[in-house]
Structure 1
Amino acid sequence: MSKLSNTITASLQDKYGWLIKRLLKFGLVGASGFLVDMGVYTLLSLALGIPHLVARGSSYWVSASWNWFWNRNFTFSSVEKTKKLPQWGKYLGMCIISFVPNWGTYYLLTTWIPFFSDYKQLALIAGVGLGMLFNFTIASLFVFSSKKDAVMAGEH
């Protein structure tokens, strides 16, 4: 059984190792983007006194641009480079979709659950987690896709 398990593991690593590495890089970029998001949100809302919903919306777009830059140059660095502005536009288009569950979760939690009204950063974390669930797939398929990825995934 151990030999079979090792064979299966090795086979999966051979076939999907590149995808696992890319997912880990995406997670690192996302974590750095989260820090940017939280930092900008905190600066705008707490330091500058901007209303929390406006600060939340603004911090999201700053971190989305940060994430696009690092995903382009780190996570998907092996993918053929396309023109920056159209790709950034596609990435922000993806972010519009993920903004709905991200900001919507934040809004619902801070509006309807008193605990999150007092601890807004925790609502921000919940929103980021929900929005991030499908970002990797959308980014991989539509923003940073390449023929090389299709071959690596076994699609000819």
Structure 2
Amino acid sequence: MLLSHLLRLFKFGLVGLLGMLLDFGITYSLKEKLRVNRFVANAAGFSVAVVFNFFGNRAWTFASEAPNVEGQLLRFVGVSLIGLLLNTGIVYFFNHRNVNFYLSKALAIVLVFFWNYAANSWFTFSG
């Protein structure tokens, strides 16, 4: 049982890593190559990564066959947006206590990863 949870956590992390690479690639391409506004490029990269992560986690990590894909997607997006707010708050908290910005961001990524995993396990893909 513990091994299956660890394997699922690993899969969740791998899907998230691929989503992060997709996010960065899209953001970079839009901003640097097409000269799209950086915030628009960032939002586009984040949005595509969330959709990619949803389908990757639905199919591979959680092997969900629930018929209500739209409901799961809405829950996943909600969890992701809460994760984004948590990430921003954690970065703000540590950075305003003179912790290096990138160290603050790394701490936020680790903490929010566990939030996202737990929330999606219990809320998005529980059934």
- Which category of TM-score, normalised to the shorter sequence, fits these structures? 0.7 to 0.9
Q: Deviations over 1:122-156 (max 9, x none)?
A: 9987765454231000100100013xxxxxxxxxx
The alpha-carbon distance between structure 1 residues 87 and 40, as it changes in their structure 2 partners (threshold 3 A), is same
Q: How does 1:1-156 map to 2 (within 5 A)?
A: 15-77=1-63, 79-102=64-87, 128-146=109-127
Change beyond 3 A, Cα 1:25–1:145:
same
Number of equivalenced pairs = 123
Q: Confirm or deny: 8 A CA contact 1:68 1:88 kept in the other structure.
A: yes
- 1:37 and 1:49 map into 2 onto residues whose CA distance is 16
Distance 2:119 2:49 in 1: 17
Q: Distance in 1 between matches of 2:85 and 2:120?
A: 16
Whether the 8 Å contact between 1:56 and 1:103 is mirrored in structure 2 is no
Distance in 2 between residues matched to 1:107 and 1:48, nearest whole Å: 30
**Greater shift in the superposed pair: 68-77 or 131-140:** 131-140
Q: TM-score, normalised by structure 1?
A: 0.65
1:105 Cα deviation from its structure 2 partner: 6.6
The one-letter amino acid paired with 1:26 is F
Mind listing any 5+ residue stretches in structure 1 that lack a counterpart? 1-14, 109-114, 147-156
Query: Based on CA coordinates, which of the two structures has the bigger radius of gyration?
Result: 1
SS where residue 50 of structure 1 aligns?
Answer: coil
Q: CA RMSD in A?
A: 2.9
Contact kept in structure 2, 1:45 and 1:52, CA below 8 Å: yes
Residue 35 of structure 2 aligns to a residue in which SS?
A: coil
| Aligned mates of 1:122, 1:42 — CA distance in 2 | 22
Equivalent residue, structure 2, for 1:12 = none
Normalization by structure 2: what TM-score?
0.78
Q: SS of the counterpart of 1:99?
A: helix
User: What is the rounded CA distance, in whole Å, between the counterparts of 1:145 and 1:129 in structure 2?
Assistant: 22
Letter in 1 for 2:122: L
C-alpha change, 1:105 and 1:53, in structure 2 (3 Å) is farther
Aligned with 1:59: secondary structure?
helix
